[in-house]
A and B are shown apart, each in its own frame.
Chain A
Amino acid sequence: MTRNSREESAAPTRGDALLRVEGFSLDLAPGREYLSVLNDIDLEVRSGEVVGLVGESGSGKSTLAMSLMGLVPKRISRQRSGRILFNGVDVTALRERDLRAIRGRDVGMIFQEPMTALDPAYRVGDQVAEVIRRHRGVSRAEARAQVIEDFRLVEISDPERRADAYPHELSGGLRQRVCIAMAIACRPSLLIADEPTTALDVTTQAQILELLRRLRAEMDMSIVLISHDLAVIAEFCDRVLVMYAGQIMEQAMIDPFFVRPRHPYASALLQALPENQPPLNELSVLPGSPPPLGYVAPGCRFANRCEFAQAGRCDTHAVSLSPTDAGEVRCIRADELVLEGAGQ
């Protein structure tokens, strides 16, 4: 991804950048002190594109996803630098009221836990209808009709009856479908899915991914799919972003990435994928553990776990992203190394 200075048009056509994050850094304050959680994030999502975001637990994937729509509470966060351009508008500079108009209407979000993602006190149909009415200002009856239609779209059978159910009366898979219906109710141009299938069993997981794939094709929306399961990413995404300790380590088109990753961390992730076996969530092959939250190493953040690290080179200067054939990589040795991909 090369940065160009071209102005984004208000309505991007296919292939243009719908979302662009430039040098975004964010600190969080879990306690009294601010700790760096996201560092110099650069990414681009073109319209119609499906981008995968992988990385170990705690690498900042969810925080990044929440930041994209200004959902990280201001009270505990501090933006250090950067911009987040959605349709050419800097989201980080928007007022809360304008952000709320975008959320749910232009950008839909779904999350990992379908069990708890819906309000237990209201019927699921009413919750989806509330979102529709909020953004479209239609009547109750119209919203209801739209809910039924959307429930059909996300393949919920018997939608009239299901709309009147409370969340606890539905299975995990159905609840996730309701969440998807809510997220796409206003036909957003971008869907952010934060581990949408992690909490589901394998069969349901496959069905939900299939549904997302179909919706994406029908509605021509872009998707950011967060997962720590590279097999899911491989199957689903056009491009992948690898995150480590709050930084993007590599971004590449999916096919070249799997054959020839450019970052040692990405390579380690790929090798941790057992062939022809259900993917493991634990990245057990990789020794060591990520740095504690807020700790900033003087050089490359991955250096202490990297088998290719060279003392005096890798641990002295912070590394920036540099272009590759298929994307970008944050490794000063990228050109010297030939790394192994998946399936030897």
Chain B
Amino acid sequence: MLTFTIRRLLTLVPQLLVAALVVFVLTSLLPGDAAIARAGGESATPELIAQYRAQLGLDKPLVERFIDFVVHAATGDLGISFSTSEPVSDILLRKVPVTLSLVLLGFIFAILIALPLATIAALHPRGIADRISLAVATSGIAIPNFWFAILLVLLFSLTLRWLPATSYVPFSTDPLQWFLHLLLPAITLGHALAAELTRQLRASLGDHLRRDYVRTMRSAGLSEISVVGKHALRSALGPAVTTLGLQVPIAIGTCVVIEAVFDLPGIGSQMVQAVFSRDIQVLQGVILFTVLLVVVASFLTDLAYALINPKVRVQ
């Protein structure tokens, strides 16, 4: 297991380098540049634009700019925002916890919904839980997130007045308020993620319950809790874990919408803002962070998968 972890860790380096290159190239290709934006739009004099270009280092060759970018990024220096002159790393430090909290809670909700529902559904095919799980899977895919979010706000914030509809309270300030403020957004995200997870888990657990080893365990007199919980579910979690890993990028995309609806100062809303103000420096930082998140998630996925499935470890 240790050698597997180390081997898998080593693959992270090239992955991140390639990711950095893609991020850099993409943001460089963005139409319009920050110098024009700074100089006051297309109508500014060419001299002024050139002056800003030089100041921002945009006149250097691309290769040089990329090397600068990687070296600086590796040391935590992501440049300075073109529009607010604030260091990008400071902006990220402020916004990343919001999105991370949301994604984390969202996944917890997704698992809390999917795991029991899928288990009961798989144990009683065509039963009530099976139908509910199908309904969850369908609604999670069919109902747009913003619409679901608005429904939640209408019900729990405006009608029942149980939960706040907007803004964010840091965990360090007040854990309870942090949780309450994130509850509706996290349910929105969890509902979206639970759809695929429930469907996947239901199918793979159903499959494993028909396997020969389950028959062996039952014929040996083991309890259903052990047969299902310890044996079948463990193997069935393999594909589900993979699904979870693949959903991290989707979750981040969903965060853009959810943060907008609930007015959360997270990475998603920052990304939108950066695009509109042509703030390439910030955009690079934001995207780099999301890529990092995805790469780390896939690393953790592989690790979890290897923990579940001993066959993977030897390969």
Binding site for B on A (CB under 8 A): 69, 71, 75, 100-105, 108-109, 111, 113, 116-122, 130-131, 134-135, 166, 168, 179, 182-183
Q: Do the beta carbons of A105 and B221 come within 8 Å of each other?
A: yes
Option from A75, A103, A119 in Cβ contact (under 8 Å) with B221: A103
Cα A241 to Cα B124 with chains together (Å):
36
Cα A104 to Cα B235 with chains together (Å):
23
Q: Do the beta carbons of B222 and A109 come within 8 Å of each other?
A: no
Q: Do the beta carbons of B221 and A120 come within 8 Å of each other?
A: no
Q: Do the beta carbons of B310 and A166 come within 8 Å of each other?
A: yes
B272-315 at interface with A (beta carbon < 8 Å)? 308-311
Residues of B within 8 A of A183 (CB): 220
Q: Do the beta carbons of A119 and B231 come within 8 Å of each other?
A: yes
Cα A120 to Cα B238 with chains together (Å):
12
Q: Do the beta carbons of A119 and B220 come within 8 Å of each other?
A: no
Interface-centre pick from B124, B219, B235 (highest chain A CB count, 10 A): B219
Q: Do the beta carbons of A71 and B215 come within 8 Å of each other?
A: yes
Nearest Cβ on chain B to A235's Cβ, whole angstroms = 25
Nearest Cβ on chain A to B17's Cβ, whole angstroms = 35
Q: Do the beta carbons of B310 and A117 come within 8 Å of each other?
A: no
Q: Do the beta carbons of B223 and A111 come within 8 Å of each other?
A: no
Q: Do the beta carbons of A131 and B221 come within 8 Å of each other?
A: yes
Residues of B within 8 A of A102 (CB): 221
Q: Do the beta carbons of A111 and B221 come within 8 Å of each other?
A: no
Cα A210 to Cα B311 with chains together (Å):
32
A120 and B311 in contact (CB under 8 A), knowing A100-B223, A102-B221?
Answer: yes
Q: Do the beta carbons of A121 and B218 come within 8 Å of each other?
A: no
B contact residues, total (Cβ < 8 Å)? 21
A121 and B308 in contact (CB under 8 A), knowing A111-B215, A116-B212?
Answer: yes
Nearest Cβ on chain B to A20's Cβ, whole angstroms = 20
Cα A104 to Cα B215 with chains together (Å):
12
Cα A109 to Cα B222 with chains together (Å):
13
B96 contacts chain A at the CB level, 8 A cutoff: no
Residues of B within 8 A of A113 (CB): 212
Closest residue of chain A to B123, judged by CB?
Answer: A75
Closest residue of chain A to B211, judged by CB?
Answer: A116
B215-238 CB mask vs A (1 if < 8 Å, else 0) is 111111111001000010011000
Cα A49 to Cα B235 with chains together (Å):
39
Listed by A's residue number, 29 A-B pairs whose Cβ atoms lie within 8 Å are A71-B218, A103-B219, A104-B222, A105-B221, A108-B219, A108-B220, A109-B219, A109-B220, A116-B212, A116-B213, A117-B212, A117-B213, A117-B215, A119-B217, A120-B213, A120-B235, A120-B309, A121-B231, A121-B308, A121-B309, A121-B310, A130-B222, A131-B221, A134-B221, A134-B223, A135-B221, A168-B311, A182-B220, A183-B220
Cα A264 to Cα B223 with chains together (Å):
44
Nearest Cβ on chain B to A314's Cβ, whole angstroms = 38
Cα A179 to Cα B220 with chains together (Å):
10
Residues of B within 8 A of A69 (CB): 219
Closest residue of chain A to B237, judged by CB?
Answer: A121
Q: Do the beta carbons of B216 and A101 come within 8 Å of each other?
A: no
